[in-house]
Chain A
Amino acid sequence: MVSKKITVKNKYGIHARPARLIVETAVKFQSDIFLLKNNDEINAKSIMGILMLEASKGTDLVIKCNGEDESAALQQMAQVFETIAQLKEWEEA
C-alpha cells in the first residue's frame, strides 16, 4: 500500500470535470484507489464518492493505492491533481 498527501488547488474544487478526470485516471488501474478526507474514505473510481467529499479549494486529501500497479497508480493520480490545478477557471465546470 502506498499513499501521498495532496491539497486541492483549483478554484472551484473537485466538483464536475475535475471529479471526472480523477475517475478516468483511477479506472485505468487494477489497484484499489481511495481518497481520504479527514476520516472519510471513498473509492476514487466512483464519481459520486468523490462528490460526497465536497473537496473545495484548499482541502487536504490523501491518495491511497493498494494492488499490483500501486506505485504507477499513485504517481498518475498525483499527476491528475496537478493537471486539475492547471485547468482554466471556465474549464472546470
Chain B
Amino acid sequence: MGQTESEIRLYGIAASPGVAIGAVLVIGTEMLKVEKKTIPAKAVSAELDKFDTALAKSMSDVEKIYDMAAVTHGEEAAQIFNVHKAMLSDPMLVEETRKIIKNDKTNADYAFSFVMDKYITILQGFQDELFKARAVDVQDLKRRVIRYIRGESQRQLARIGAPVVIFATELTPSDTVQLEKSNILGFATDYGARTSHATILARSIGVPAVVGLNSAAKVMRDGITVILDGDEGLCVINPSKKSLALYKKRYDAYISLEKRLESIKALPARTLDGKDLALASNIEFPEEADHIRELHGDGIGLFRTEYLYLAGPTEPTEEQQLNDYKHIAEQVGGKPVIIRTFDLGGDKPPVSLSLPVEDNPFLGVRGVRLYRDSGHELFRTQIRAIVRASIFGDVRIMFPMIACVSEVHYCKNVVKEIQAELDQEGIPFKENIPIGAMIEVPSAAATADIIAKECDFLSIGTNDLIQYTTAVDRGNKNLDYLYQPYNPAVLRLIHQTIKKGHQQGTWVGMCGEMASDPLMTMVLIGMGLDEFSVSPVSHLLIKQIIRLVDFHACERSAETALDFSSTDQVQTYLKNLCYENFPDLLRS
C-alpha cells in the first residue's frame, strides 16, 4: 500500500460528484507496440488471411458489444457500435491495408496500424470536437483488430473481482460499456472533458469522476490507494492517515445521505403538517427530460430554450422546436412543462440576429424586450411551436425579464394572434394554455399584483432579481458583499411577490438558484411559495427538507428572517436554523 511513500495531490476537472476511496486499477495504458517486419512473398496470402480473420472476429465482438450495450446502456448509447461496425467493413481501410501487405510484403498488424494511424492523425487535427472525438473510436478498433491478427486475447474488462477506482489515459467506448458497473468506485482519466465517455458513464451509474489529470495514469500502479473527490476535481494518491480519516468521514456521510435521499424518491414533497408543495425541475436541453420522471416530481418548472438560438447561424425552425417540446411533454408524462421563451440579448445574442453592441447589455434589449422589434419573428415562431406542442401534454408558456404589465399584454396578444392563425390553418392546439411571467426585475416585483392579474402563474428568477435589486453586475468580484441572496431587500421583494400573487389568486413559484439552496427552503415555504423548481441534482435534497419541516414553524422562521437588518444577520440565522432542523443534510 506504499505507506512509506508520501501523499500526492493531483487536480483535474470535477466531472461527476461524490467521493470514492479504494484501490486503483489501471486500464488502457498498455502500449501496443507494432514492428514492421518484411515477410517472404509466399507468406503474403497467409498474412492476408490473418487480416480477414481478425476483421471477422472483431466484427462479431462489436456485434456482441452492441447487444450488451443496448441492454445495459440503452439503444441510443449503443449506436456508436453501429459506427464501429461500419468502420470495420470500410472498403477503404480494408483495401489500403491489403495493398500494403501485398506491395510492401509486411506483416498485417503493421499494415493495419499504419493505415489506422493515418486516419487517427487526421481526425485529431480537426477543429470540430465531435469529429476529433471519433479518433478514440478508430483507436479502439485498431487495438482490437491488431490483437486478433497476433492471436492475442482481447482485454476482458468485465471481470473486475473487487471494487476499484479505474485509472486510464482515456476510456474507449468499448471499454466503458464492458466495465461491470457494480465494482466501479470511480473513474479518473488523463484526458477528457465533461462530455467524454468516462464522464457520461460515471454520471449514469452515479460514481465520482475526475478527468483531465494529465499524466496520472502513467505513474499509477494497480493496488495503490487513492481518494477521488468528484466535487473538487481532486485525486489524492497514497493518502496520509489524516486525509483518509477525513475523507472516510465525508464518504460515509455522503453514502448515508444518498441512501436516505434515494429512499424518498417516490414520496410526495409534503411538510410534516401535511402541506403539499410543487417540486419541479429546471432543464436546459430536451434530453434532460428523459430522467425527470424518475424523480416523481411535478414536471418541468423551467425549460430554458436558449440552446436553440446559440447552436448555429440558422434559426431553429418551428418543426424542430415542436419536436423538442413534444419530446419533453411526452417524457414527463402529463406533468406541467413550463417553457420559457428565449432570454437573449446584447451579451448573448441569437446567432441569427446581428444586434447593436450596447454599453450595458444587462440593462439593454434582452429577454422580452427583444420580442418587439428585431426578435419579433423569432418570438412568433417559438410561440407557434409552443402552442402547437400544447396538445402533447400540460405545456405552459413563461416570459422572461418582464418589467411592466404592458409587456405581458404584448406577449399575450402575440399568443392570441398565433392561436387565431393556427385555427384558420386547421392546426390543432389546446386552448387556454397557461401563461406566466418571470419576476426578476424589481419593478415587476413591486407591481407583482398588477402582473399577476394578467397571468396564470408567476415564477421568481433570483439571480437577476439580486443583480437588479442591489445594482451589482453578478460577475463583479469586488462587490460580493452586496450580491447576496440573503440580502434583506431581496428577501422582502420575494415575500411581496408571493403575497401579491396570492392576493390575485395566482400561484407563485421560484426557478432561480435560491430555490435549490437548502438554507432558504424553510423560509421560502414560510413565505408561502407554492412551487420550487430546482436543478435535478438538488431535487431529492430539497424534497427531504420539505418532508422534515412543519409549515407553521416555517412561517415563524420567515417572519424572523424578514426582520433582520443585514445580510450577515440573515445568513447566520439561516445557518443556525438549518443546523437545528436538519444538520445531517448540509454537505459543507
Whether a CB of chain A sits under 8 angstroms from the CB of B160 is: no
A47 and B324 form a contact (CB under 8 A)? no
Chain B residues near A88 (CB, 8 Å)?
286, 323-324, 327
Chain A residues near B119 (CB, 8 Å)?
48, 51-52
Per-residue interface assignment for chain B, residues 106 to 130, with 1 indicating a CB less than 8 Å from any chain A CB and 0 otherwise: 0000000000000100110011101
Once bound together, how far apart are the Cα atoms of A46 and B131, in whole Å? 16
Once bound together, how far apart are the Cα atoms of A23 and B119, in whole Å? 18
A91 and B76 form a contact (CB under 8 A)? yes
Per-residue interface assignment for chain A, residues 79 to 93, with 1 indicating a CB less than 8 Å from any chain B CB and 0 otherwise: 000000000111101
Given A15-B130, A89-B287, A93-B79, decide whether A48 and B313 contact each other with a Cβ distance below 8 A: no
Once bound together, how far apart are the Cα atoms of A17 and B327, in whole Å? 20
Contact with B123, one of A9, A45, A47, A51 (Cβ below 8 angstroms): A51
Given A88-B323, A89-B286, decide whether A24 and B86 contact each other with a Cβ distance below 8 A: yes
- Of residues 29 through 47 on chain A, the ones whose CB sits less than 8 Å from some CB of chain B are 43, 45-47
- Of residues 490 through 505 on chain B, the ones whose CB sits less than 8 Å from some CB of chain A are none
Once bound together, how far apart are the Cα atoms of A24 and B128, in whole Å? 24
CB distance from B199 to the nearest CB of A (A): 14
Taking CB as reference atom, which chain A residue is nearest B312? A57
Taking CB as reference atom, which chain A residue is nearest B88? A47
Taking CB as reference atom, which chain B residue is nearest A85? B320
Once bound together, how far apart are the Cα atoms of A45 and B134, in whole Å? 18
Per-residue interface assignment for chain A, residues 1 to 36, with 1 indicating a CB less than 8 Å from any chain B CB and 0 otherwise: 000000001011101110110011000000000000
Once bound together, how far apart are the Cα atoms of A90 and B289, in whole Å? 12
* Chain B contact residues: helix, strand, loop or mixed: helix
- Of residues 44 through 81 on chain A, the ones whose CB sits less than 8 Å from some CB of chain B are 45-49, 51-52, 54, 56-58
B contact residues, total (Cβ < 8 Å):
31
Once bound together, how far apart are the Cα atoms of A48 and B123, in whole Å? 10
B131 and A51 form a contact (CB under 8 A)? yes
CB distance from B485 to the nearest CB of A (A): 33
Once bound together, how far apart are the Cα atoms of A23 and B92, in whole Å? 12
Given A19-B83, A52-B122, decide whether A46 and B323 contact each other with a Cβ distance below 8 A: no
Most interface-central of B128, B131, B314 (chain A CB within 10 A): B131
Chain A residues near B123 (CB, 8 Å)?
51
Given A54-B126, A90-B287, decide whether A16 and B92 contact each other with a Cβ distance below 8 A: no
Whether a CB of chain A sits under 8 angstroms from the CB of B538 is: no
CB distance from A59 to the nearest CB of B (A): 10
Chain B residues near A43 (CB, 8 Å)?
91-92
B86 and A23 form a contact (CB under 8 A)? yes
Chain B residues near A51 (CB, 8 Å)?
119, 123, 131, 134
Contact with B128, one of A9, A13, A48, A52 (Cβ below 8 angstroms): A13
Once bound together, how far apart are the Cα atoms of A57 and B316, in whole Å? 13
CB distance from A48 to the nearest CB of B (A): 5
- Of residues 73 through 96 on chain B, the ones whose CB sits less than 8 Å from some CB of chain A are 76, 79-80, 82-83, 86-87, 90-93
Chain B residues near A9 (CB, 8 Å)?
314
Once bound together, how far apart are the Cα atoms of A47 and B85, in whole Å? 10
Chain B residues near A12 (CB, 8 Å)?
130
Whether a CB of chain A sits under 8 angstroms from the CB of B205 is: no
Chain A residues near B131 (CB, 8 Å)?
13, 15, 51, 54, 56
Chain A residues near B287 (CB, 8 Å)?
89-90
Taking CB as reference atom, which chain B residue is nearest A22? B86
Whether a CB of chain A sits under 8 angstroms from the CB of B420 is: no
Chain B residues near A89 (CB, 8 Å)?
285-287, 324
Per-residue interface assignment for chain B, residues 267 to 293, with 1 indicating a CB less than 8 Å from any chain A CB and 0 otherwise: 000000000000000000111000000
Once bound together, how far apart are the Cα atoms of A15 and B130, in whole Å? 7
Chain A residues near B43 (CB, 8 Å)?
none
Once bound together, how far apart are the Cα atoms of A60 and B313, in whole Å? 15
Chain B residues near A49 (CB, 8 Å)?
90, 92
Taking CB as reference atom, which chain B residue is nearest A55? B131
Once bound together, how far apart are the Cα atoms of A54 and B119, in whole Å? 12
CB distance from A93 to the nearest CB of B (A): 7
Whether a CB of chain A sits under 8 angstroms from the CB of B10 is: no
Chain A residues near B92 (CB, 8 Å)?
43, 46, 48-49
Whether a CB of chain A sits under 8 angstroms from the CB of B311 is: yes
CB distance from A53 to the nearest CB of B (A): 9
CB distance from B495 to the nearest CB of A (A): 40
Chain A residues near B130 (CB, 8 Å)?
12-13, 15-16, 93
A11 and B311 form a contact (CB under 8 A)? yes
CB distance from A32 to the nearest CB of B (A): 11
Once bound together, how far apart are the Cα atoms of A52 and B161, in whole Å? 41
B93 and A17 form a contact (CB under 8 A)? no
CB distance from A74 to the nearest CB of B (A): 20
Once bound together, how far apart are the Cα atoms of A23 and B122, in whole Å? 20
Given A16-B83, A20-B82, A20-B86, decide whether A90 and B134 contact each other with a Cβ distance below 8 A: no
- Of residues 159 through 185 on chain B, the ones whose CB sits less than 8 Å from some CB of chain A are none
A47 and B80 form a contact (CB under 8 A)? no
- Of residues 305 through 350 on chain B, the ones whose CB sits less than 8 Å from some CB of chain A are 311-314, 323-324, 327
B91 and A45 form a contact (CB under 8 A)? yes
Once bound together, how far apart are the Cα atoms of A51 and B131, in whole Å? 7
Most interface-central of B82, B123, B130, B287 (chain A CB within 10 A): B130
CB distance from A45 to the nearest CB of B (A): 6
B134 and A16 form a contact (CB under 8 A)? yes
Once bound together, how far apart are the Cα atoms of A45 and B86, in whole Å? 9
Most interface-central of A16, A17, A45, A57 (chain B CB within 10 A): A16
Chain A residues near B324 (CB, 8 Å)?
88-89
20 residue pairs from A and B, CB less than 8 Å apart: A12-B130, A17-B79, A23-B86, A45-B91, A47-B83, A47-B90, A48-B87, A48-B92, A49-B90, A51-B134, A54-B128, A54-B131, A56-B128, A56-B131, A58-B314, A88-B286, A88-B324, A89-B286, A89-B324, A91-B76
Q: Which 6 A-B pairs rank lowest in CB-CB distance, beginning with the nearest?
A: A46-B92, A90-B287, A47-B86, A20-B86, A15-B130, A46-B90
Q: A16-B80, A52-B119 are in contact. List 11 more A-B contacts (CB 8 A).
A: A11-B312, A16-B79, A17-B83, A47-B86, A51-B119, A54-B127, A57-B314, A58-B312, A90-B286, A91-B79, A93-B79
